[in-house]
């Protein structure tokens, strides 16, 4: 399992919160149009991730994720209190969606920070995540959910419950393929794919149909991640019966929860 540094999390969380709030304040005070403060907030999340990657001594997915969540919580309460003219049209639901996207941006920034740090580029330490499989899962998840949903629209018309089921099926299939086709015990990749796929789907739906209700967004995020994890677990079990010896062992607590492959 990867070492976890509370110090690096605290430093990047505090610095990331201050930087993101400063950027939001500068943009929100200067512009009345909502898109500009949003871009500033997302840029702040990118900086948070890059900072975490630069100061962390180990390649660790958990640290930038926790830092991003801490920054999100700070922003959720701090941004409305600032009463900036550029953020007056921002509803709590829109803010939650922005923060969800920010966590994805922070993860990307964390990877970039590790590359700049040299822990990945020069092979000093092993990556805790196979990003190729995570990206594959995101592509499969978005493709499957969009295909099943658009097909149901043609056949049944727009019905929220049917689309929700199709959305879960698509995420399950994405996780299943990751677990089935991977060369080792992979669990984090399914979580990354599930979270990112949900965020992308929410972005698409909100752009196409208008803002969703907050309980639907939060519930869809939680259930979607669980569906992808479950698909990855099932795929891993099927793979275990075919290839008993994994080429990549579990690297974290979540990965260790997978059923190990035995002869």
178-208 pLDDT, tens digit each? 888 766 556 677 788 888 888 988 888 787 7
Contacts 24+ apart (CB under 8 A), 74-83: 74/17, 74/21, 75/17, 75/20, 75/21, 75/24, 75/41, 75/99, 75/102, 78/17, 78/21, 79/21, 79/24, 79/41, 82/21, 82/24, 82/25, 82/28
> Where is mean pLDDT largest: 100-109, 205-214, 250-259?
100-109
User: What value does the mean pLDDT take over residues 46-57?
Assistant: 80
Q: What is the predicted pLDDT for the residue at 72?
A: 94
Least confident of 29-33, 182-186, 255-259: 255-259
> At residue 175, does pLDDT exceed 60?
yes
The residue with greater pLDDT, 183 or 135, is 135
> At residue 123, does pLDDT exceed 60?
no
Q: What is the predicted pLDDT for the residue at 153?
A: 67
> At residue 137, does pLDDT exceed 60?
yes
Q: What is the predicted pLDDT for the residue at 25?
A: 92
Strand partners, 248: 184
> At residue 150, does pLDDT exceed 50?
yes
User: What value does the mean pLDDT take over residues 116-128?
Assistant: 54
Q: What is the predicted pLDDT for the residue at 244?
A: 55
Q: What are phi and psi of 117, to 5 degrees?
A: -70, -30
Q: What is the predicted pLDDT for the residue at 107?
A: 83
pLDDT > 90 fraction of the chain, expressed in percent and rounded: 15
User: What value does the mean pLDDT take over residues 117-133?
Assistant: 58
The residue with greater pLDDT, 122 or 96, is 96
Q: What is the predicted pLDDT for the residue at 187?
A: 66
The residue with greater pLDDT, 128 or 112, is 112
The pLDDT confidence band at residue 6, using thresholds 50, 70 and 90, is confident
> At residue 55, does pLDDT exceed 50?
yes
Q: What is the predicted pLDDT for the residue at 258?
A: 46
């Amino acid at each position: 399992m990867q070492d976890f540094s509370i110090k690096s999390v605290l430093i990047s969380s505090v610095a990331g919160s201050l930087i993101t709030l400063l950027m939001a304040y500068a943009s929100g005070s200067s512009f009345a149009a909502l898109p500009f403060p949003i871009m500033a907030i997302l840029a702040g999340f990118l900086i948070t991730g890059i900072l975490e990657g630069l100061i962390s001594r180990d390649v660790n997915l958990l640290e930038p994720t926790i830092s991003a969540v801490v920054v999100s919580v700070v922003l959720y309460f701090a941004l409305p209190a600032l009463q900036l003219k550029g953020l007056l049209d921002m509803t709590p639901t829109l803010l939650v969606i922005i923060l969800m996207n920010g966590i994805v941006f922070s993860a990307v920034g964390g990877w970039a920070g590790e590359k700049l740090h040299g822990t990945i580029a020069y092979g000093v330490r092993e990556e805790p995540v196979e990003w190729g499989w995570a990206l594959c899962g995101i592509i499969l998840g978005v493709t499957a959910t969009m295909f099943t949903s658009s097909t149901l629209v043609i056949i049944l018309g727009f019905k929220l419950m049917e689309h929700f089921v199709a959305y879960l099926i698509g995420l399950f299939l994405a996780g299943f393929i990751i677990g089935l086709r991977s060369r080792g015990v992979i669990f984090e990749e399914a979580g990354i794919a599930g979270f990112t796929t949900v965020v992308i789907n929410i972005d698409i739906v909100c752009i196409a149909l208008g803002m969703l209700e907050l309980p639907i967004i939060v519930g869809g995020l939680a259930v979607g991640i669980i569906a992808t994890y479950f698909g990855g677990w099932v795929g891993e079990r099927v793979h275990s019966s075919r290839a008993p010896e994994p080429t990549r062992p579990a690297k974290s607590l979540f990965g260790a929860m997978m059923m190990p492959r035995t002869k």
